[in-house]
Structure 1
């Protein structure tokens, strides 16, 4: 399983303008491949898109050209070149120096079937939390639709730009690299990632592990270090009372998928526990319930049933104070 690298990523997904987004999205779907056969294929379209030059180069490098030259159909979500440059150096180097991991990641950006995500007459639309089957068996690309002063469509949390319809599918440019490929659902991460061993044990004690196999959810999971900042008395208060423990955990969870591209500074979101969280963007970092309270130290960690934003401080619900 790919371990989480705790880095404060640039909060770039919040600052793209409406002009680069998709506009209105009709809530219907099709995987029809009935577009004209005289259109260029996916690779031809990518070649004509200056923004995706690196993606095209990497497709050749890992041996996916024949796949994308075939009849298909396929839909590709191609990160634009700057998205690769914005990756932390450790992740960028891992991808570029490990051909197996790179191919695995690129395959996750390619979907089986032609999905025309724009409203008629250009396409058939998309719907929120739609899952598209990638070339990796059992792994899906999640689409979300957000209202942030305009309608924004995201794939794997990245805003989507139309790249054109191809003879063998469709091309979209996305403003992020979908990395890592989701390692499993939230319960899988809590059970197997050592960075969340404390939270995992508490979720198990509260009887919520099966709950987190459902979803979709957004979780703000505190790290082990975050729990270590709590006094023993406070931690014991929760561990000895299952009702309070359940409330504490649920205060870190939303019952929907909220990527950063779908949120904004000052937004108030209601948790599963019932109390609200306030989102604040401050100097390219995301804070919960005000600056200097709980900082998100890793954004948009994809899981099969939603997304996780890792925090450095345990959030205490107001009703538990």
Structure 2
């Protein structure tokens, strides 16, 4: 092992004479590495293209060339690519929130595995805290090949994007109206069934089918509004609404959810934690609203006692 010093510059110390070093000395154990460069330059040279772009867009790149020291939990490009659509859109349209997300990945101190015992909480530059264990952040983001020490801090690579809590500002109705490239047909359906206005208040979970989900039902539902179709129509879309807001973390495998239609939805959780409702996959989960939660699905939920749809 080597004793190294992280102050304005990273200086090699004589392990036989540690008293000759500055007071803040860190012991780098096996698995640690060192590059004599800045945090920003390391990210630029090692494939963190999306992170660097966002740091530049948010005018935070110069921070990672300053003295520090900082620990950066650095999401890979793949981590950003796998963000839910609603999160990507939210960050693209709210520059300050993008800056807050990036600051949520930065702690102003050195955090390497040899210095972490058990689970610790550290305040980020964004102001909220991270729960940090040796190889896990916030209980889900695993550190891969971490403890990369550079001249002004440490890089801890992760394959997830850490999102701080942002209070909801829009109702369920506002969310789906605004996202008209996905929910145009759903909004029409909810207007026709007098369900859109109630979703502007109250407390609900909406399982929201995207427009492509309506394809196989279009002739019977969206184009035909006579005979027995209107009451069936209303029943079907009440079947997509559950009283009370429920995040996926609150849904359990085998759970039954009573809908506004009075019938039941069945929850399934698979081995990798994905959530299914009546065997229909939630493709974009946990869109928080002021009056509940929206989960996006790729098919319509049809009550079992409705036939011929």
User: Which structure would you say has the larger RCO, counting Cα contacts within 8 Å and 6 or more residues apart?
Assistant: 1
**Could you tell me the TM-score, scaled by structure 2's length?**
0.50
